[in-house]
Chains A and B, each alone.
Chain A
Amino acid sequence: MAEEMRIVLRNYGKIDPLKIDDYIAVGGYNSLNKARSMSNPDLINEVKASNLRGRGGAGFNCGMKWNFAYQAQADQKYVICNADEGEPGTYKDRLIMENDPHTLLEGMAICAYAIGATQGFIYCRGEYPSVAKTLKQAIAQAKEKGVLGDFTIEVRLGAGAYVCGEETALIESIEGKRGEPRIKPPFPPVIGLWGKPTIVNNVETFANIPVIVEKGSAWYAAIGTPSYPGTKVVTLTGDVANKTFFEVPTSTTIREVIFQFGGGIANGKGFKAVQIGGTSGAFIPAANLDTPIGFDAMTAIGAALGSGAVFVLDESRDLVDVTARIAKFFAHESCGKCAPCREGTMRVHDLMDKINAGKGVSADIALLNKLGRVMSYSCLCGLGQAAPSPVLSTIEHFSADYNAKLM
């Protein structure tokens, strides 16, 4: 029996999130003090050695990223928490921020110390106004208590743009501009917010940091799969009996997530597919259910852990219809800057609608395959590169759904 393991959600339901004293009583801010007694290289090496990888979807080694920012010379550096959480099916960051905001603040403060930054921002999506309020209260309490030292944190709101989950688009948004991704290189740890070295990490990533500092890198690295250790908060939605969340080690399999924790398919129906990682994730057929959710294992089956969203579909679902709906999402969310994404997401949407309406021909499938492929390696940022995944994976694994609708 796989078991939950609550690291980032360790205080969920156990403390009053609006009471900093509750957080302190369970050891909160001790890690920050401990971190401050370490040298920057030692602290960064600890985080590196834990092999904590980004929990927003990109999966980059957290400590390695911090090191780039630490090495960069500048008169000012920034720590940004990516709380844009735009990935459909995902609400884990909201859970962390609503129920234990201080773990995020503490994680950010540890990062700030490590790289030499005194200013931080939490970019909170505009669709979470109450979360922003909670964060502001927590920051005010932390300031009053003096726990953050000289590190100040400001909350900045998003305004409804999924692309602002991309770190450079997010930075552009904090700068008060259109959220359009920047050309990389340079990368944010070298040239980021207002041209200064900047670390952008996901909420869940930061929430792991205080525990890693407390319990050590070796402890963390031993949890879950070695290449992507620790836990992942998975949020279940769709045709699953328990539409709720769990925090599980990364060695947990997809089958365990859906059938054990998720209670299986709702209404006793059969399993058809699961889309993991968010709306740009691949659709995974039953054959791959025993894959552990760790990053590299997922890559091996052509899928991604991504945000940890688990969108389950039962046997009655028409995947062409679901995929067409997702295609509309990407056409809507493309920022419009680069041609293959701006034009490509529009065309994928048009073609999927055409097929979904029963007006498609097999040449349309071939065109979708080619277009999706070209987008996946030509677009400027991850949005355009990943947008074709749902289409490409459903065409590959669920061609029956498509064939049933062709003219």
Chain B
Amino acid sequence: MANVTIDGIKISVPDGSTILQAAKEVGINIPTLCYHPDQAVKANCRVCVCEVEGNRLLQAACSQPVFEGMVIKTRTPKVIEARKTILELILSHHPQDCLNCIRNENCELQSLAAEYVIRDNPFETKVRGFAKDFSTPALFRDQDKCILCRRCIEACSVIQTVDALGIEGRGSHAMAVPTLGKDLIDSPCIMCGQCIHACPVGAIGEVEYIDQLLAAIADPDTVVVTQIAPAVRLALGEEIGMNTGDLPMEVFVAGLKQIGFDHVLHTNFTADLTILEEGNELLSRVKNGGTLPMFTSCSPGWINFCETFYPDLLDNLSTCKSPQQMFGALVKTYWADKMNIPAKKIFSVSIMPCVAKKFEAARPEMNSSGFQDVDIVLTTREVGRLFRMSGIDFKKIAPAPFSPWMGEYTGAAVIFGATGGVMEAALRTVYEVVMEETLGDVNFTVARGFEGIKEAEVDLNGLVVKVAIAHGLSHARILMDQVRAGVSPYHFIEIMACPGGCVGGGGQPITKANAKRVERIEAIYIEDAEMDVRKSHLNKEVNKLYEDFLHEPLGHKSHELLHTHYHDKHKKFL
């Protein structure tokens, strides 16, 4: 332990603690910008500098370890002047664009400028003048706003091991750019959007489709239908001043109807459907010597990753579409029919915690309904904007129900939003189907938790099914490399591109730390536990769908609408 003094307060902290950590212990919040609790210390913004007695140089609190007897001062005039000057320097090389910026009111640089009362910036505003990169349908880059904190690069290289971003050039010409300085679409970017969460400012964001939505709503001839993903509701409340998990589902639906959606349905419906299709696909591969291990296919960032880095293993992917796309195919066929609405009038929206879903929806092959199955995808953040724009009082609005035929769901579908959720949902069904007995305890807790890789074994009458679960692509690589080397011991692997699973998706409210992802995961399992029906095969609307339309899992109709194929996206320079 080391005894130090911070702003006159004496404290004892473990050896090797940084000034930042020690200050937190005594309730002193030193401002930071490039620091990120889930990433390596960078110490490049120098905003967190403090005075240390005996040293003329200021020390960065995030990186400087304390020593016995260190006397630290975090708020002297010298420190305040230094922080202000550094902020002025960064701000003056940044577009003065707050009013139009996607991160207006949720920007770390903006917050610091306000905190440090930056009124007159003595440095002339200089903007680099790059064109914005809207080359992908999912995310955009506004290079001029980059403050070179490098948090995006760490998210992309270390956490996701995609390496689509790097630094080009030197000095004030240094820039964070996609590979070889190309546009995002020509880089290995898999569009998971973790860089969006990492970015403290508006240099990266989601491509918004709010205008298209409002145009569809305004068109009296168009029937605007939306699905909602399992990880959205519990996080959406964060966008409108509520705690995680506190926005009731029926209030959410009511809000959407107020904005102008004609029908609100749920992706959870097709999540339950996915379990039936995918569970049967797994059993079929096991029985008939199909390609194993089988990988889940509902995470489009993961699909992009597999297509880009492991195109040799595309046969291992389940041929099931994601719940979003299964839904899209059905809403313009089965549902349109049931509701007596002409398919061509349907504007199919999906509300997702994800930005890669915007790319997935736009895949040319996603048109088995005869139309583009999903027309636009809105992120949780975009719906947050719509709700804030709407002026609705969410405490007073009367709840509203889902529309029929595709709005029912079970607890198994709800847990899709958490890492391990798809696996647990699948096991709940596969167990009962194979063992032909009812599960006493549906909680497969072995599948839950934030460890990067989890594994489990389920004994199904002598057939020992080995499963693995990975979230965050650095962990996925470990499992994938095993498969490539032919030494994978698993039958079934669930992979989610985003740490935490969809609760931490690229489209969620800006997520500053893994602790928030963990909090959202907890909310998901609470929601699941509170449901009456928690097994996908007991979803009555899903059973009706098979009865009236699909007839059987993996049948002809299923293959036509609910299954897909993949592409080798091994870019020429990989």
Contacts and interface: CB of A to CB of B under 8 A. Distances in A.
Contact of A336 (B90, B92, B171): B171
Highest count of chain A CB atoms <10 Å: which of B41, B86, B170: B170
Interface in A355-383: 363, 367, 370-371, 374, 377-380
Interface residues of B, number: 34
Contact of A338 (B44, B81, B85, B167): B44
A101 to B, nearest CB: 31
Contacts of A185: 65
A385 interface: yes
A334 B90 CA distance: 16
Contacts of B93: 343, 346
Contacts of B47: 339
A40 B407 CA distance: 78
B169 interface: yes
B57 A340 contact: no
Contact of A339 (B63, B65, B147, B169): B147
Given A378-B58, A378-B86, 8 more contacts: A178-B170, A183-B63, A334-B172, A336-B148, A342-B148, A343-B172, A347-B123, A371-B85
Contact of B170 (A336, A344, A367, A378): A336
Interface string B168-183: 0111111000000000
Contact of A346 (B43, B49, B167, B171): B171
Contacts of B78: 377
B86 A340 contact: yes
Interface string A203-241: 000000000000000000000000000000000000000
Contacts of B43: 183, 338, 380
Contacts of B170: 161, 178, 333-336
Highest count of chain B CB atoms <10 Å: which of A346, A347, A367, A378: A378
Contact of B44 (A178, A337, A363): A337
A377 B90 CA distance: 17
Highest count of chain A CB atoms <10 Å: which of B58, B122, B124, B172: B172
Nearest to B64: A185
Nearest to A364: B122
Contacts of A178: 167, 170
Contacts of A333: 170-171
B448 interface: no
B103 interface: no
A378 B172 contact: no
Given A340-B46, A367-B122, A374 B63 contact: no
A331 interface: yes
Interface string B69-91: 00000000010011001100110
A255 interface: no
A180 B253 CA distance: 52
A196 interface: no
Contacts of A346: 93, 171-172
B45 interface: yes
Contact of B172 (A183, A342, A379, A380): A342
A212 B395 CA distance: 82
Contacts of B41: 183
20 contacts: A161-B170, A178-B167, A183-B41, A185-B65, A332-B171, A334-B171, A335-B171, A336-B148, A336-B173, A336-B174, A337-B44, A337-B174, A338-B43, A338-B46, A339-B44, A344-B89, A367-B123, A374-B81, A377-B82, A380-B44
B56 interface: yes
Nearest to A184: B63
A380 B63 CA distance: 11
B89 A347 contact: yes
Given A339-B45, A342-B148, A374 B172 contact: no
A383 to B, nearest CB: 10
Contacts of A337: 44, 148, 174
Contacts of B173: 336
A181 B82 CA distance: 21
Nearest to B51: A377
Contacts of A338: 43-46
Contact of A331 (B60, B63, B122, B172): B172
Interface of B: 41, 43-47, 49, 56-58, 60, 63, 65, 78, 81-82, 85-86, 89-90, 92-93, 122-124, 147-148, 167, 169-174
A161 B170 CA distance: 10
Given A334-B170, A377-B57, A385-B57, A340 B65 contact: no
A339 B172 contact: no
B172 A340 contact: no
Contacts of A344: 89
Highest count of chain B CB atoms <10 Å: which of A333, A334, A337, A367: A337
Contacts of A334: 170-172
A280 interface: no
A343 B170 CA distance: 12
Nearest to A330: B171
B453 to A, nearest CB: 26
Given A338-B45, A339-B147, A377 B58 contact: yes
Highest count of chain B CB atoms <10 Å: which of A183, A333, A338, A339: A339
Nearest to B167: A178
A393 interface: no
A342 B93 CA distance: 11
B45 A370 contact: no
Contact of B85 (A161, A335, A340, A380): A340
A339 B46 contact: yes
A331 B169 CA distance: 13
A117 B414 CA distance: 59
Highest count of chain A CB atoms <10 Å: which of B46, B124, B147, B171: B171
Highest count of chain A CB atoms <10 Å: which of B93, B123, B147: B123
Contacts of A374: 81-82, 85-86
A370 B122 CA distance: 11
Interface in A302-351: 331-340, 342-347, 350
A340 B93 CA distance: 12
A374 B87 CA distance: 12
Interface in A1-37: none
A7 B395 CA distance: 84
B92 to A, nearest CB: 8
Contacts of A161: 170
A343 B81 contact: no
Nearest to A343: B89
Contacts of A183: 41, 43, 60, 63
A387 B169 CA distance: 20
B169 A336 contact: yes
Contacts of A345: 171-172
Given A185-B65, A374-B81, A379-B46, A340 B169 contact: no
Contacts of A339: 44-47, 86, 89-90, 147-148
A339 B90 CA distance: 7
B64 to A, nearest CB: 8
Contacts of B44: 337-339, 380
Contacts of A335: 170-171, 174
Contacts of B63: 183
A311 B262 CA distance: 78
Nearest to B43: A183
A333 to B, nearest CB: 7
Given A183-B63, A337-B44, A342 B85 contact: no
